[in-house]
Amino acid sequence: MTTRKLKNFEFAGFKHSEIPNLEGLSTFDTFETPNGFVFLAAGSDQPVEGPQQVSEIISERVRYYLENDQPGDPMEATRNALVYANGYIFEKARKETGFKPGRASVICVLVQAGKAYYTWFGEVSLFLYTGKRRYPLNWPVKLSDTSNDNEFLYLGQNQMAEPGVCEQALVPVDGDMLFLGTGPGWNGIREKNFCGILSDSMPTHTKVQRMAQMIAPEHAEAPNTALLVSFYNLDQTDRSFAAGEAPAEPSIIERLRSKIDERPKSSIVKSVLIAVGFIIIAYMVYDIFLFNPTKPVRVVSETPLAQVTDSISEISEPAAGIVTETKPAPPADIQYTVRRGDTWGRIYQQYEVCSWFIRNHTQNAGKFDSADNPILNTIIIIPVKYSGSRRLNPNYYKEFTTDKVGNACQNVNETFKSRADEKFGPIN
């Protein structure tokens, strides 16, 4: 499509409609609603019989909700739209034996009053480009706490599934670009190549097409779809956003493979590249596992162990110039405003903090009803240092995974909290 320009942004999209057997498997849509302007990308790897493919049904349902319902809170609007689309696809698959949604993904961005709110299901990419570097804004939403890296929570898999929801709205400034896409292809593009394309002066639709050419060969025939939004004429001058999880950079072997697959593909060049690749890999194996310049020497202490122990026990303070070991500080608490429909399960899904820690936080006293449930519009404190999310609690999340706190947080109590607090140790 050609670039479309509006008052505060211009945009262009891409989908793999031209590839045989992929027609309708991916789609993008842009439309105005009472809630704001919407950018949507959707895709599925499973073709279905009927007048519409899964991606088209998802787009239609999200559009229907946002055009006919106005919750007031734009973040809640995007979340509710995807919950509605998820329930619709789930029920359609349950009632129609021939309808299998497959691995369906969607990302929805709603722009209202200069801010962007976003939610997603499945394998999606969302990046903010600031003119200097690329920032990821989303993170993988998994099927379960024990899921591996490939088990995304796809739309339509679970009737009561919750989509990924942005922690805070993106506030862009003039010149910022927002890239949203579905499918496995986009996260494999290296940041250097990604930024090189977006920093070029070429038209927006050309940038999207160039980006599609960077997709790795193994993902080139997947139902990838994308939208690129470029902001301008904005009132705000201060950018703000909550960063997500950065995609893993391609390995050396993957980069060699992509170089081999690039054109021109003469047999001589290809043979040379393969030979160079094997030499590099062989050297790495030799360097890591075989090369050993000196033989190991066993050093035996001449001081009896008991004497060493006694000497250590006599030390009451660290000597001058010696720095005692400290641990990284846990993350700071997060403020959260309780929204309509919030439950402890929904809050846990977003922060992975057991409700016991929240209800017993000293700053949350008196903020719950008689059943200990959060009260609408109340600001509560989320102590994410007790979170099992690697994204929110990178240094201590392993202490609060479900195998530690229990599947229903049944292991959490004062004793558990005391032991957890000891793990933090001296703080920097």
Strand partners, 382: 334
β-strand partners of 41: 28, 107
pLDDT at position 380: 94
Per-residue pLDDT of the chain (428 residues; tens, 9 = 90+): 567 888 899 999 988 655 556 667 889 999 999 999 999 999 998 888 888 899 999 999 999 999 998 877 899 999 999 999 999 999 999 999 889 999 999 999 999 999 999 999 999 999 999 998 999 999 888 776 544 545 789 999 888 889 999 988 999 999 999 999 998 888 888 899 999 999 998 999 999 989 888 888 777 777 788 999 999 999 999 999 988 876 655 555 555 555 555 444 456 666 776 777 777 777 665 655 555 544 444 444 444 544 444 443 443 444 444 444 567 888 999 999 988 878 888 888 888 899 999 999 999 988 988 888 889 889 999 999 999 888 888 889 889 988 888 877 888 999 999 888 888 765 43
pTM recorded for the entire structure: 0.60
Q: Are 368 and 374 in contact (CB under 8 A)?
A: yes
Each domain of the chain, given as residue ranges in start order, spans 4-250, 254-290, 334-424
Cα angle 70, 1, 184; round to 5 = 75
Cα distances (angstroms) measured from residue 370 to each of 253, 343, 361, 366: 59, 14, 17, 10
| CA atoms of 257 and 249, how far apart (whole Å) | 14
Domain 4-250 homologous superfamily, CATH? PPM-type phosphatase domain (3.60.40.10)
3-state secondary structure of 203: coil
